[in-house]
Structure 1
Amino acid sequence: MPEPEWLVHGLIQKRSTAVMFGKSNAFKSFLAIDIGLSVDTGQDWHDNEVSHGGVLFVATEGANGVGRLRIPGWYDHHRIEEENRRAFLYPKEIRLDVADDVTALIARMKQDFFALVVIDIFGGSMAGSEIEDKTARAWVHGIQRILRETGASILTVAHTGWQDETRARMHTHFWGSFDTRLRVEGDKEAMTATLTVERHKDADSSGSWGFRLVQSHGTLVPEIDASVTKSAAKPKKLSGENRAALNALDDAIAAHGVMQFGEDWPPCKVVHIDQWRKYVYLLSPGDTADTKRQGFYRAKKALHNGGHIAFYDDHVWKCAG
């Protein structure tokens, strides 16, 4: 196989799909604009070589602010002359699980050369639900049509899941379809963010950058800052309830644990969350159904936030250490 061709070296490959995911207020949109406009202007993205090409932004939330403030503010901050400002903002809503909308988008893209499409935000780019299999398959089919018929790369911005902050909030079929996964962690008070490559399907999956968000020309602009690093979660002391839930997970894995194979699964046994829940409920036979349910939810959230367990596709496992 040939070496990958990079649109942004080490970050996004040509003719590929990438998802950038993180919590709300992690500065994902500002980083996506920073990447997109680096491609649009052809200037290096923080010392990473860029292949120059047109960029189309599909802003499903806050399009007015993106077009009126954020994009012009980035250009002004970087002193880009008016004649070199060529990014486009798609003028209407998009439903990438609807064939007619995909056809209209492709027709617009064929009027100019676009090397990159930035979709922000994922949840607003479909008619159906982001957790439905039917929607997922239609959306992925639409994305593949865009790749095939235009040759552009696609960067999609998404929120993390409700229960699992280690992956985007979406059906597994969506999640498995992306060629690249980029994780963003932000600190709103410190005005910092990190961007980490979690996976490239066809290239070395490494790379992490720290940024400080600076106010400039009515927007926030990321500036590289080597002192900003990815935060390491510190394990918290377990309460009695959480310790019992973790012991129940040991029992559930011992009785029902299975090995799953694939790049998203760990090298250890996993168990379905419902099986774990049954074992937790056995520890509190006198409690009401509602009390058991609330206790399990508290323990699951605390153990995950503390780095003791991880989730994928409705399965759970214990983290090393």
Structure 2
Amino acid sequence: MQASDSDMGNPHEAMADRLRLCVPRDLWQYRQWLLWRYEPGQDKPRKVPYYISGARRSGRQGDAADMSGLATFDQAETLFRAGGYDGVGFAVLESSPVKAIDLDACVDGNGQLLPEAEAIVNEADSYAELSPSRGGVRILVYGTMPSTKAMNRFGPGRHLELFGTSGFVTVTGNVLGESTVRPMSPEFRNWLCAQAGVDTRPVSEVPSIPTQTVDAKQIEHLRGALTALDHTDYHQWINDGIALKCLGAVGLEMWVEYGQRFDGFNINEARQKWAGFRPTRADFRSIFARAQARGWINPMSNAAAVAARAVSPDGLLLTVTQLRDRAQSLRWAVKGAVPDNSIGMIFGASGTFKSFIALDYALHRAYGMPWMGRKTKQAVPIYLAAEGSAGLWWRLDAWHRMHGMDPAACPLRAVIVPLSLSTEASTLRAAVEAEAIKPGDIVIDTMSQTFSGEENSAKEVAEFFRRISTELRQAFECTVLIVHHSGHNATERARGSSAMLANLDFQFSVQREDGSMFATLECVKQKESERFEQSVFSLERFVLAHDEDQDEISSLAARHVNQASELLTAIDNRNETANSVFIRFVREHGNFEIVRREFMNWLGDKKQATKRSDWKRALDFAVTQKLVGTDQSGRIWVLEGGVA
């Protein structure tokens, strides 16, 4: 059966596929995505940004209302794919490390970059792509820069614009070179700002003669007072500049820091305004008075002394320094994946191998072996096998055979007696203490077999997690991993109340392609760190013994597939699945549109929505695991061994 014309001819489908294939995965994690439409303008159509709610983007960029309207990459891409918008875009925020460089009219009639643009693209050495018109270039980088626009910088209509604090840029996926976002070097940043006509000298180096002197302590307190002021009142910012003028260069530096919170802030204009200020009788002390009126406590005042004496003697309240020390002392059970002394969850639909992956994690911890290629701290795991307890031994045996190890030496402890942890967590705690064991992990497989309450009740779920946290996590300073079933949509959320996610430090989802022996682990939540990229596990079958009728007793064991070449080999050696067919078509055709057409045809008589979903999953799998490469001409190829 041929794919329908309406499906294959939809330009939104093709562009959405290109976005998923080419946009760096690093950018997917930022909730800074939006949509845009062409709307009439004076000289040419304007690109107008919209939130995923359908409302036009407005108000102060970067505030709570603005942030709540921005989306994840997946949300924006899904809405764009459905139609109604002309593209997706990325909002640049002062608080985000991602900045953008926009070069207009920098591509000649032969599709070649003009020399000035080519120099900037080469120096940036970061993700660059063609604009929707294919006549301009956008570059995304990590770093800091002002927002400014140099009109006609390289000739008529050839503007240079820097997006450092506000605005948005379109994202097309028409990539030039690698799909990697990299940090700017200080030299490139200074050179770029100079090209845009921005003075890159620190404001402290700009000549400004003070008329009053203050000590370092007063400057520190003044900075604190400025943070308490209304950051939306532009006119008050001007008045504060006049009040700070008496401090010379120090005052200018603080005033500029304060002013960068405003949309469209331009440092050159700020310097010009500062030069015109004349000190008045309302000097910097007026800032202290206004900050105190907004609740700020001056450290030099009596109120500060009273507040210091009010700190709880038992350490209930933390200073900022103590808070910093706590944050820097974050410990990992598995570096960058599983925090130590935490509560997490791994969920998935029935048959997705989630219990096998949970056991694989526990056994890597038991031996201190790197899990998913990450440093792993050795610890004794306790495994509550509330589901399939009779098969736990065979799973342990299969895992040890896979690794060529003797299970008799395994330090893992198992609990095969059903426990309702809502009321019997203290019983488990007493049993562990009686054995004089200090566990590093307690794996609960599954929640539904150990929770006697109502899963959809936020109150009962929260009480269950509170009990586990008090009786198990806090008591042993260990990591508790809960195995749970998925809700109606296996790729999005665990079954039951949303209070589950709120009570977790981390959460993983597991997905499995129908009929395959692969499972994909995705980090859905990581409270104290960045989420890691998807990981793939292969399941292998081991014949372990024979019963009295000489029938085989077998079990599966999960193994992380940690290299692209290894994954490709595993895919090639398994039965035909959507992922293996996708790779085969890439090898056979090497053209993105042909691969898509052949893949959709291979799916046969499935509904179009199902076929699009299967295509999207196969494409995401190949991109996430770095199995394929592509270029703007539409070529696509397999990265054998993880490299071109």
User: CA deviation digits over 1:138-169, x for unaligned, max 9?
Assistant: 20111111111111101111111025640000
Aligned to 1:87: 412
Q: Contact (CA 8 Å) 1:54, 1:114: kept in 2 or not?
A: yes
Aligned to 1:194: 520
Shift of 1:3: 4.6
Aligned to 2:427: 104
Aligned to 2:560: 224
- Please state if 1:117 is matched with 2:117: no
Distance across 2 between alignment mates of 1:92 and 1:7: 27
Aligned to 2:380: 54
Change (3 A) 1:28 1:164: closer
Change (3 A) 1:211 1:2: same
User: CA deviation digits over 1:226-285, x for unaligned, max 9?
Assistant: 3379989x9xxxxxxxxxxxxxxxxxxxxxxxxxxxxxxxxxxxxxxxxxxxxxxxxxxx
Q: Unpaired runs of 5+ in structure 2? A: 1-326, 545-553, 572-577, 583-595, 597-608, 615-644
SS of the residue corresponding to residue 185 of structure 1 reads: strand
- Please state if 1:11 is matched with 2:311: no
- Please state if 1:70 is matched with 2:406: no
Aligned to 1:215: 541
Residue of structure 1 aligned with 2:531, choices 205, 214, 217: 205
Distance across 2 between alignment mates of 1:138 and 1:165: 26
SS of the residue corresponding to residue 422 of structure 2 reads: coil
Residue of structure 1 aligned with 2:499, choices 173, 176, 181: 173
Q: Unpaired runs of 5+ in structure 1? A: 235-301, 308-321
The structure whose RCO (Cα within 8 Å, separation 6+) is larger is 1
Q: Contact (CA 8 Å) 2:367, 2:378: kept in 1 or not?
A: yes
- Please state if 1:133 is matched with 2:458: yes
Distance across 2 between alignment mates of 1:177 and 1:94: 21
Shift of 1:197: 1.3
Q: Contact (CA 8 Å) 1:118, 1:156: kept in 2 or not?
A: yes
Q: 1:230-241, aligned counterparts within 5 Å?
A: none
Aligned to 2:481: 155
User: CA deviation digits over 1:99-151, x for unaligned, max 9?
Assistant: xx111111122231110011111111111221123421220111111111111
Match of 1:162, as an amino acid? Answer: H
Distance across 1 between alignment mates of 2:430 and 2:458: 27
SS of the residue corresponding to residue 345 of structure 2 reads: strand
Q: Contact (CA 8 Å) 2:462, 2:503: kept in 1 or not?
A: no
Distance across 2 between alignment mates of 1:189 and 1:39: 30
Distance across 2 between alignment mates of 1:95 and 1:141: 14
Shift of 1:2: 1.3
Q: Contact (CA 8 Å) 2:386, 2:416: kept in 1 or not?
A: no
CA RMSD of aligned residues (A): 2.6
SS of the residue corresponding to residue 350 of structure 2 reads: coil
Change (3 A) 1:176 1:151: same
Distance across 1 between alignment mates of 2:459 and 2:413: 30
Shift of 1:83: 4.8
Q: Contact (CA 8 Å) 1:96, 1:138: kept in 2 or not?
A: no
TM-score normalised per structure 2: 0.35
Q: Contact (CA 8 Å) 1:8, 1:49: kept in 2 or not?
A: yes
User: CA deviation digits over 1:51-105, x for unaligned, max 9?
Assistant: 0010111111111111x2111221232222355211111131121221xx11111
User: CA deviation digits over 1:29-64, x for unaligned, max 9?
Assistant: 110010000101111113211100101111111111
Shift of 1:188: 4.7
User: CA deviation digits over 1:178-201, x for unaligned, max 9?
Assistant: 100111111251211111112210
Shift of 1:222: 2.0
Change (3 A) 1:71 1:27: same
Aligned to 2:4: none
User: Could you list the runs of 4 or more consecutive aligned residues of structure 1 that deviate by over 4 angstroms after TM superposition?
Assistant: 228-232
Distance across 2 between alignment mates of 1:65 and 1:223: 18
Residue of structure 2 aligned with 1:142, choices 462, 467, 470: 467
Distance across 1 between alignment mates of 2:501 and 2:449: 16
Q: Contact (CA 8 Å) 2:511, 2:519: kept in 1 or not?
A: yes
Find the structure with the greater CA-based Rg. 2
Residue of structure 2 aligned with 1:39, choices 356, 362, 365: 365
Q: Contact (CA 8 Å) 1:18, 1:179: kept in 2 or not?
A: yes
Distance across 2 between alignment mates of 1:46 and 1:206: 11
Aligned to 2:193: none
Q: Contact (CA 8 Å) 1:198, 1:206: kept in 2 or not?
A: no
Distance across 1 between alignment mates of 2:527 and 2:379: 23
Q: Contact (CA 8 Å) 2:333, 2:340: kept in 1 or not?
A: yes
Match of 2:375, as an amino acid? Answer: E
SS of the residue corresponding to residue 448 of structure 2 reads: helix
Q: Contact (CA 8 Å) 2:360, 2:559: kept in 1 or not?
A: no
Distance across 2 between alignment mates of 1:10 and 1:153: 14
Distance across 1 between alignment mates of 2:367 and 2:478: 16
Change (3 A) 1:82 1:172: closer
Q: Contact (CA 8 Å) 1:160, 1:168: kept in 2 or not?
A: yes
Distance across 2 between alignment mates of 1:12 and 1:171: 23
Aligned to 1:261: none
